Every structure is written in structure tokens, then in C-alpha cells.
Amino acid sequence: MPVSKGRKKANKRPTPPKNPTASQVDTKGPSPTWYVVTMFGLMALGIVVILLNYMGLFGGRADNKFLLLGLAMIGIGFGMTLNYR
């Protein structure tokens, strides 16, 4: 029985990326200390606000305003991690 010819595979490679010049490279460096302190401080303060709210130290009973404030602080702190270098 005759053997059929196989298909020719195209050996096309993607073009390699061009090396960026020095002006194209973003050289920002690490985040400043105040940014890191603010980021973790907001997250910790949000947790403290939520705990104090449920312990009844903000007016006797748990209030949704303080819960939302604490969650907002935690959310802003986590949002700041997106720009952390």
C-alpha cells in the first residue's frame, strides 16, 4: 500500500520583541515608606473600627455606619496595594 505524504508544517515563529530603549523603560523605584505605612495603617485601622463597633464602644450598640467605615478603610488599603512597588 502506498504511503501518503504528510502535510508540511509551517515553522513560523513570532517575531521577538524589540529591546526597549532607556527612555521607554519605566524606572520608578520602590514605594516610599509613607505609602506602605498608610496602606497597612488603613487596613489595620479598619479592622480596629469594626471590632470596636461590635464590642459596643461606639454608642452602645453595633451600627452599620461604623461597619461600612471599617470596610471602606480596609478596601482603600487593599486598593493601595495595586500601586505598591
Q: What is the mean pLDDT of the chain?
A: 85
Would 5 be classed as within a structural domain? no
- The count of domains in the chain is 1
Q: Is 79 or 8 the better-scoring residue by pLDDT?
A: 79
Q: Using alpha carbons only, what angle is made at residue 5 by residues 4 and 8, rounded to the nearest 5 degrees?
A: 150
Would 66 be classed as within a structural domain? yes
Would 63 be classed as within a structural domain? yes
Mean pLDDT throughout 27-56?
93
pLDDT at 37 over 80: yes
Would 61 be classed as within a structural domain? yes
CB atoms inside a 10 Å sphere around CB 77: 19
Residue 61 carries which DSSP code? S
Would 2 be classed as within a structural domain? no
Range of the domain at 48: 33-83
